[in-house]
A and B are shown apart, each in its own frame.
Chain A
Amino acid sequence: MATTTQPQTGRKSATSLSNEEILRYSRHLIMPEVGMEGQLKLKNAKVLLIGTGGLGAPLGLYLAAAGVGRLGLVDFDVVDFTNLQRQVTFGSDDVGKPKTEAARARLHNLNPDIQIDTFETKLTSDNALRLFKDFDVIVDGTDNFPTRYLVNDASVLLGKPNVYGSIFRFEGQATVFGMPEGPCYRCLYPEPPPPGLVPSCAEGGVLGVLPGIVGSIQAMETIKLILGTGENLVGRLLLFDALEMKFRELKLRKNPNCPMCGEHRTISKLIDYYEFCGVRGEEAPGPDLQVPEITPRELKSRLDRGDDLFILDVREPHEFQICNLHGHLIPLGELPRRVHELDSSREIVAHCRSGKRSAEAVDFLRKAGFRKIQNLRGGILAWSDDVDPRVPKY
């Protein structure tokens, strides 16, 4: 393989393909839109995937298959059993392994010729610029708001395109941020939603195949950016509704007053994104929600003793059908309307799946004057762990 050396980095840039590569990518090479020139662009491209989960799965697979010469994978998580519903790079044997390690093995098997760098670390304001520096395109496959803003800001500061995709239940969004004349994430959303207002997939659920579609769209946009072909999604927000099977498109304008990419930039370095998004800890409910709690074991012993406790379940009806503690079901969203169903003279223990929604319920009810109310710490999940393993976890 003939190569030339680039003086600045000492890295070699490929100028030809081996016979084996020509055979592997033949279906690309016979298209004028790609050809040898395009395939070489792919070979010399360096793409960093932030997140190797639901979106990262098709991204990694299709970019590796396409022959992107260098793929970076950033994820600090381990493969969980519940991931297998949608994170199709992983197999049952991978449960418990670091995601970057499992993804690297799968992608290497798919395409041993490319370089795969793994970064088993959380992306932070301290490491983002250093990690992004050596890559040409950043692909945002993350699952939380603080990281979305971090990825955006770091990409804009370094002048790298940021191929964005996001999902919720059965809806997806995709676009390309970070191009010089195009908008950035802050142009679209100058401020994050307060924590707890937009549910995560664990709380809201997601159709497994949805990130497969949106991630594949991101892979397609990444490849088009590298090849310099077709019309890309810069300035266009693609909205996908899987249930209706409809694609819509909205115009995304660059905000001239954007503090990040506008004419008068006021942000010149990375900030504390968790503070920006109002999330101070990753486990506890919001910092303001100091509510009285009872542990599952304490609840069990009080029930065994015959104490008169009213169990309030604030989950959704379909969750109640999976498993329940025979509580009185009032979904959190309906609580304000149905508070008359509760007797404030009785002792109430509120629970949900993990303890977060019920903490909000307790907070709401205390503000409404309820005095004898506690939150079941850890929810029905903790009940399953600590009291009754026959209760299924979900």
Chain B
Amino acid sequence: MSVKVMIPTPLRAYAGKRDSAEFSAATVGEALSGLTSQFGELRKHLYTEDGKLRAFVNVYLNDEDIRYLAKENTPTKDGDTISIVPSIAGGSFAH
């Protein structure tokens, strides 16, 4: 199952500046594993130390939030798109 993972702008620096990557995966979790295996630095931005997806990062399979599907066990099919949507605040506040 060839699945495309869209990488959002704030995370592209940790993914070799790529805006997407393709993986062979049967579930969302597998695709994300593929992603963090290929781009190790992404792991800490996506996952906590105990391996859970960070709460400010949302993952969508096509247009549906995986929290409302089967989370990382959500099955994928050929041509699916996984989107990573982190929160962005946008502006000039130096925090």
Contact = CB atoms under 8 A, between A and B. Distances in A.
Given A191-B56, A193-B87, A239-B85, A250 B65 contact: yes
A389 to B, nearest CB: 22
B94 A168 contact: no
B83 A250 contact: yes
Contacts of A145: 87, 89, 95
A255 B58 CA distance: 13
A361 to B, nearest CB: 15
B55 A189 contact: yes
Interface of B: 8-10, 13-14, 19, 41, 45, 54-56, 58, 60, 63-65, 67-68, 83, 85-95
Interface string A177-219: 0000000000011111101111111111010000100000000
A251 interface: yes
B89 A333 contact: no
Nearest to B14: A333
Contact of B93 (A200, A206, A211): A200
B89 to A, nearest CB: 5
Given A191-B56, A198-B86, A253-B68, A51 B91 contact: yes
A169 B92 contact: no
Given A191-B56, A192-B56, A143 B87 contact: no
Given A143-B93, A279-B95, A333-B13, A198 B88 contact: yes
A204 B8 CA distance: 13
B8 A171 contact: yes
Contacts of B93: 143-144, 200, 282
A168 B10 contact: yes
> Which 7 residue pairs are nearest across A and B when measured between Cβ atoms?
A143-B91, A167-B90, A191-B55, A144-B93, A168-B88, A193-B56, A166-B90
Contact of A206 (B55, B67, B83, B90): B90
A43 interface: no
A27 B89 CA distance: 35
A53 B64 CA distance: 32
A189 B91 CA distance: 18
B85 A142 contact: no
A173 interface: yes
Contacts of A55: 90
Nearest to B91: A143
B94 A83 contact: no
A276 to B, nearest CB: 12
A235 to B, nearest CB: 11
A249 B85 CA distance: 11
19 contacts: A54-B90, A54-B91, A144-B93, A145-B87, A145-B95, A168-B9, A168-B90, A170-B9, A171-B8, A196-B95, A198-B10, A198-B89, A200-B89, A200-B92, A200-B95, A202-B94, A237-B85, A248-B63, A255-B67
Given A144-B91, A172-B90, 17 more contacts: A51-B91, A54-B90, A167-B88, A168-B90, A188-B87, A193-B86, A193-B87, A196-B95, A198-B10, A200-B94, A202-B94, A211-B90, A244-B19, A250-B64, A251-B65, A255-B67, A333-B13
Contacts of A171: 8-9, 88
B42 to A, nearest CB: 11
A351 interface: no
A277 to B, nearest CB: 8
A201 B10 CA distance: 11
